[in-house]
Chain A
Amino acid sequence: MHEEIYIAGLGGQGALSMGQLLALAATSENKEVSYVPFYGPEKRGGFANCGVIISDHPISSPIISEPSVLVVMNNLSLKNYEDSVILGGIIIVNSSMVNLGVKRSDVRVVSIQASEEAEHLGDVRVANSVILGALIELTEVVSVSAVEKSLEEVLPKRNLNMIPINFKALERGAELASNYKKAWSNLS
């Protein structure tokens, strides 16, 4: 197993926390992990991307130039990074935020209306957990339970009541992704 995951969005959208959570979960499973954030000087609204590599082997370069999984949370990120994804890679589009289509036909595209899904569950703030749930289902880089445990660790005490709904969001994401998985296996 070796996945190079690039998560791209705007400051405040939670791309960096999502990457950190993923890295933490993988660390707890004793996998080889690297996490590198890239962001502009603005705290909010500037670009905020991160690269997470999770592998069974020692990681040589922590810098991702050709991701196997790309998560995009705004139009510009899709435009900028679409071409970098490896052949047969996965692009997860948060279609609540992105209205452009993916042009490439040699990658697998998963489109998730994360905000709407989250609202459905009762709190728009768990949108990223929906995405994360999908990502884990598709790649199996970490177990859901590892993510859940890490979530309990990093969530500030005052937000502990958010844990159940986050778990539900992860589950919902996985469910949506499994539909895609089925469709892909029917194709091949």
Chain B
Amino acid sequence: MKKITARPYSLRDIPFHYCPGCMHGIAHRLVAEVIDELGIHGRTIGISSVGCSVFAKHYFNVDMIQAAHGRAPSIATGVKRVLPDRVLFTYQGDGDLAAIGIGDFIHTAYRGEKITTIFINNTVYGMTGGQMAPTTLIGQVTKTTPFGRSVEINGNPIRVCELIASVEGVAYVERVSLHNPKEIIKAKKAIRKAFEMQLNGIGFSLVEALSACPTNLGLSPLEAVKWMEEKMIPFYPLGVYKSPAGGGLSA
């Protein structure tokens, strides 16, 4: 039998621990493929955050660092400032990036650090058992919003791409989704562009990947995909939110 989906070299040969229908695994794979294709495997350092993807540090076949909850951008900055010729990426969930770590995130973006952030928005805290995240939709039921998220009590969901698209120092911002093959192909392109922005020294780059956490949504993987199409994507429109004039990509 012909092997059509070889494991990228930048992923280690270890089975993922993620739940069925979880999209963290897809995102890992895309990032690893891009690292392989860009030939930057030997000088890439990844920072895994605190959330279900805490084991990213284990899965990627590059040097990895485990950050405290929310601090990955600062740690990536620390490495990059010592080793400016290395390629740095952070891999963060919505709780990590948009709640506890939003300060580190915003300041890193404003400083225009030449790092790439892969942001997995699954609208919940997956790891701790499905509590509300800053990205939880209005009306969405979670463990800590049992009657649905309300604006009065919890405020509005944070749209991260829109939030930083206007920031100087930010080179590239795109929101993608991992819910079907077509979007996954786009997502990979976006991740590649984000890394290229860093390699070309243009500035901070962010790819927000919409994902599902079927386990905490209480849905089957297929139902979760439908939920994303009907509820999530209308609130979090896909597309490029910022890219440098002229593309910013030298050949």
A–B contact at 8 Å CB threshold (below): no
Residues of B within 8 A of A (CB): none
